[in-house]
Structure 1
């Protein structure tokens, strides 16, 4: 019965709405927030777009660390398990992300071997993945998660059958990338040709000659001048304003061009699975490049052995921390969630982070703009507990292969 109640509560998704809606319904800002909230209630991120290797370098993870992180697509949570932390609490306000995180954990626990995990979570066009789910995974899921993936569409197709095709082409972000490919093709550019580039020089030439000119096209400038056009990237109205403020004319097109240039040109293609998802809409084959950290063969045994150390919560970050003991958390991962928060929400969150942080605890997060979003906004009593590692943050931001964000930030609690 409790799981049936949970499913009904997930369906309403009131927690997510409460976090996103800050303005009056009929105001311009309020209407924008409500449109974003409507789009955000479905699956948004089939893949998380924060680089887990940067995260782990910043956190300096060890086996005695207790972690609290936002779930999103679940990839990074699994990558952290390769370092055998003491525990990971995953929180997310989106029920689709909750179901995806629980499914990915179950895949590692119950599929027979590494090849089967890769085939289920990363392969494109693996028609037997629905059967793998039925044989190895479904019976081990909680009632809500099992019902979520077995739910049928109007066409009679079960939701889990998306893994027979490619889950990474679905969700809000996957569809947004697909629309970007269509728009590029309308202008005569096939983005999948990036796969043919064999060096950083080739990648840069392709970007400068084929991709960069797209940002001067009237249609693309018209689209990117509207906040709603970027909701498909998971960028809420608040983040759009941050990005638009970086350009002299208030247009977001130059900022997007800069971020895409980093994605396309700063890292060898075979080492950047984020670029494969953006330009080829798939992961590389073995001869083409490397899979995400959590899917690499060398990490499989550790991740599988450590899946029981993870607990997934449909809950806000602040609420979860409110139930934890003082000094009980070593590492906090906030993704870009603070970009959405007002001052009251930030101080409530950091009050609980400060209370629950163990000596030497670290907080990492990303921001749409370059500047840390908490500077000058926290109460002095909270801020005095934390030291900003500005230089290390800048160094690691340059190494972030996803290239989506303007800033990466590390804060360390005084011992």
Structure 2
């Protein structure tokens, strides 16, 4: 079940993404910052999604029959949601590279012969046979636009699918940002990859205190974390930077980033945190080292494979998709951190459609760069009064998010 948007050609300029990002005049400082971010964000950004799907699943409590609408990003969490056997998942994304990646990951589950082949294709680095697996099993069944994308050439002249024969998770804007962070740390005498040698929570804490925390006191790093453009690689747009910087006196994110890195390294056992493996080892753990993401675990494989045809992928905004849906036709909404980028008008347009399409008992989840929900004072009270903010569950589950990137996790439940 695959739906192609009318403008799904990947070689075209992404007008939808630009429209969502550009809120100021081009020649203003804010406008220039937005356009630089948009330029960087127009390619592949997230090979892996950085929202913890276990937190999502506990918040939403998906049941068979549920209809879900979610932003796609790297596509991992969509597949995890499928393990709960919902009736339908509509995936939207404004980035055509993410559209191609979502469709490829779904097709891998549908058409590769077995679970080991899926893990080899999506989680194992340096496996050249993955390109042959694509040509043999996936390409003939993939939609034409996505097939042309992955069979096409990148700027170096190599087939795009070749990244799955190397390491897809070292590519994209975030992959390059992590690589640059490793280089910067090594120039200061610290090799972040050494973190995965830790064998206990105590050793994890010691590595953070002795090696990582002091880096944030270095003048170069403090200067860099005070520049909006230096953090675009984390997917932090200008609006999110301003929100986070407002929390500190020096208008630098050094303290914020230090705190979140501490959570990533010290609050969860390394064996159980594949986000830390991606950040430090730049790969997933081997079987004797730790756990794979939930969607790649054997216990979920058959359910995901058998329900993969229930996913529909759309190259458009969430608001556009919802505007076409009947009233009371959606049970669960996953907004990621997209609202941090939105103007008040965009927020109200989105929540008008969410409220109209929400069925009884509907749940909305999203994340924010800062701790507080951004809706109150910005979204019309007439809309928000129809929703209950579950503050206690939001705080508890936010603390459990292993990716540690966001300041807040938020749950809204439709009032009866």
Q: Distance in 1 between matches of 2:14 and 2:164?
A: 24
2:8/2:315 contact within 8 Å kept:
no
SS of the aligned residue for 1:366 comes to strand
Q: Distance in 2 between matches of 1:319 and 1:79?
A: 25
User: Number of residue pairs matched?
Assistant: 414
Equivalent position of 1:124 in the other structure: 125
CA displacement, residues 17-65 of structure 1 (integer Å, 9 cap, x when unaligned):
0000000000000000000000010000000000000000000111121
C-alpha displacement at 1:5, in angstroms?
6.4
Matches within 5 A, 1:399-410: 399-410=400-411
C-alpha displacement at 1:8, in angstroms?
3.7
Asked if 1:375 is matched to 2:376, the reply is yes
C-alpha displacement at 1:153, in angstroms?
3.0
Question: Quick one: structure 1 residues 62 and 155, their matched pair in 2 at CA, closer, same or farther if it must change by over 3 Å?
Answer: same
TM-score, normalisation: structure 1? 0.98
C-alpha displacement at 1:7, in angstroms?
4.3
Q: Distance in 2 between matches of 1:75 and 1:282?
A: 15
Equivalent position of 1:303 in the other structure: 304
Q: Distance in 2 between matches of 1:394 and 1:364?
A: 12
SS of the aligned residue for 1:235 comes to coil
Unaligned stretches of 5+ residues in structure 2: none
C-alpha displacement at 1:329, in angstroms?
0.2
Equivalent position of 1:273 in the other structure: 274
Equivalent position of 1:47 in the other structure: 48
Equivalent position of 2:69 in the other structure: 68
Matches within 5 A, 1:347-366: 347-366=348-367
Q: Distance in 2 between matches of 1:49 and 1:408?
A: 13
Asked if 1:321 is matched to 2:322, the reply is yes
C-alpha displacement at 1:4, in angstroms?
11
Q: Distance in 2 between matches of 1:76 and 1:283?
A: 16
Equivalent position of 1:248 in the other structure: 249
Alpha carbon RMSD of aligned pairs, Å?
Answer: 1.2
2:394/2:409 contact within 8 Å kept:
yes
Q: Distance in 2 between matches of 1:10 and 1:341?
A: 26
Equivalent position of 1:337 in the other structure: 338
Unaligned stretches of 5+ residues in structure 1: none
1:69/1:332 contact within 8 Å kept:
yes
C-alpha displacement at 1:9, in angstroms?
6.8
Question: Quick one: structure 1 residues 144 and 343, their matched pair in 2 at CA, closer, same or farther if it must change by over 3 Å?
Answer: same
SS of the aligned residue for 1:369 comes to coil
Matches within 5 A, 1:13-412: 13-412=14-413
2:4/2:315 contact within 8 Å kept:
no
1:10/1:95 contact within 8 Å kept:
no
SS of the aligned residue for 2:280 comes to helix
C-alpha displacement at 1:243, in angstroms?
1.0
Q: Which moved more, 1:281-290 or 1:4-13?
A: 4-13
1:6/1:144 contact within 8 Å kept:
no
SS of the aligned residue for 1:11 comes to coil
